[in-house]
């Protein structure tokens, strides 16, 4: 199988590539613009594989996409390229509209041109898998049922709005033009190689440095946490076994309040660095994010029932292994902090306003 993956140098994209090449021996072309959050290092074990190829490409560049389709001749597309950090979308939404919405439109058009020129047999086997987020559904109250595939869209941040728009584009191209599309919406991912601007890596790194651990508001916002390797397996399952035109919600069955996630990291750090305990003394509550959604929760019944997928890594197992990974890769995140943040400590926005 030949799979064109957009955004394959990102956190989730690189996990998907490692899984596909390592477990399924498919040929992968990674098309990535290599923006600030790209991590080529995350693919260091695959770059010498005969199954892997890379192109530094922008999904908004239609001629470039036409060239990639013509030369690589993929049997499937996994679209993961996106701007994804909510705080950055609040500070500067234009990049999110351009990449997430216009980029998805441009990619769909290129895929449609390519697919339309295939033989009937190859057209039937082709797949376009769009990877999205649970944030398109909006915010839940604490006692609301979890998001299902039928939950109405209600995006509440520029990031969520850009992803909701891209979801609608993909489904429209499927309905209008017959492009064989699939959509998946996932909960909060965590694990190795996550760019150090998200909650878990920020907390781990700041705890290691003995610096304040910023928590929005009172830390009562709830997220469903999904270990990234479980997500990668789910995405491959959706691509290869999912029904055309369907949406699949992918979750970790691990709802946690943000403050409890931070406290769990502090407890793990206390064990590893008892001389610096208790690390929870570093917790610092900061002004809440504008429009901060109260709760996300995924009902993953459909993907388990239809495709047999369910998460295998518990939150506790994943968090411990993630923390140990960041402690073992100190030079990597120190280099990022020095390069992007002038050595300043990391916060929850872009590291510049902590």
Are the C-beta atoms of 162 and 97 separated by less than 8 Å? yes
| Of 58, 134, 197, 230, catalytic | 134
DSSP one-letter code for 288? P
Residue 159 among the catalytic residues = yes
Beta-strand pair 255-257/222-227? antiparallel
The DSSP secondary-structure symbol of 142 reads T
Catalytic residue among 52, 114, 137, 159: 159
d(C-alpha 179, C-alpha 298), whole Å: 27
- Specify burial of residue 301 (Cβ count, 10 A radius: 0-12, 13-18, 19+): middle
What is the chain's length?
354
Distance from chain centroid for Cα 61: 22
Task: Supply the DSSP symbol for 100.
Answer: I
Report whether 269 contacts 226 (CB < 8 A). Answer: no
Which residue in 58, 83, 135, 230 is the catalytic one? 135
- Would you give the DSSP letter of residue 102? I
Cβ atoms of 214 and 287 within 8 Å: the answer is: no
For residue 222, CA distances in Å to 44, 60, 247, 256, 295 come to 34, 34, 23, 5, 4
The burial class, CB within 10 Å (0-12 / 13-18 / 19+), for 41 is: middle
Please return the burial class of 322, using the count of CB atoms within 10 Å of its CB with bins 0-12, 13-18 and 19+.
buried
CA distances (Å), origin 242, targets 102, 137, 155, 181, 309: 26, 21, 25, 10, 11
What are the beta bridge partners of residue 128? 77, 181
Q: Which DSSP category does 159 fall into?
A: H
The candidate with the shortest Cα–Cα distance to 85, out of 179, 177, 158, 192, is: 158
Catalytic residue list? 134-135, 159
């Amino acid at each position: 199988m030949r799979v064109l993956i957009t955004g394959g140098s990102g956190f989730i994209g690189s996990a998907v590539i490692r899984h596909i090449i390592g477990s399924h021996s498919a040929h992968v072309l990674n098309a990535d613009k290599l923006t600030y959050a790209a991590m080529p290092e995350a693919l260091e074990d695959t770059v010498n594989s005969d199954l892997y190829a890379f192109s530094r490409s922008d999904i908004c560049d239609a001629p470039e996409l036409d060239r990639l389709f013509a030369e690589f001749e993929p049997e499937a597309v996994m679209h993961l390229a996106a701007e994804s950090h909510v705080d950055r979308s609040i500070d500067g939404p234009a990049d999110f509209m351009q990449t997430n919405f216009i980029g998805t439109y441009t990619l769909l058009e290129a895929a449609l041109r390519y697919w339309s020129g295939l033989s009937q047999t190859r057209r039937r086997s082709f797949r376009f898998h769009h990877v999205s987020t649970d944030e398109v559904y909006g915010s839940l109250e604490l006692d609301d049922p979890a998001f299902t595939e039928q939950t109405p869209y209600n995006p509440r941040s520029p990031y969520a709005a850009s992803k909701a728009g891209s979801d609608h584009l993909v489904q429209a191209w499927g309905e209008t033009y017959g492009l064989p599309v699939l959509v998946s919406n996932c909960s909060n991912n965590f694990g190795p190689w996550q760019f150090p601007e998200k909650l878990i890596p920020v907390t781990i790194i700041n705890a290691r440095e003995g610096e304040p651990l910023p928590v929005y508001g009172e830390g009562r916002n709830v997220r469903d946490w999904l270990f990234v390797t479980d997500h990668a397996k789910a995405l491959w399952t959706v691509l290869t076994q999912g029904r055309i035109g369907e949406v699949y919600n992918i979750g970790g069955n691990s709802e946690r309040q943000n403050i409890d996630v931070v406290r769990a990291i502090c407890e793990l750090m206390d064990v590893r660095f008892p001389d610096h305990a208790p690390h929870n003394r570093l917790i610092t509550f900061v002004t809440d994010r504008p429009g901060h959604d109260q709760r996300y929760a995924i009902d993953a019944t459909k993907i388990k029932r239809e495709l047999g997928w369910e998460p295998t890594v518990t939150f506790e197992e994943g968090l411990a292994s993630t923390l140990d990974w960041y402690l073992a890769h100190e030079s990597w995140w120190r280099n990022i902090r020095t390069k992007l943040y002038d050595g300043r400590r990391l916060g929850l926005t872009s590291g510049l306003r902590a």
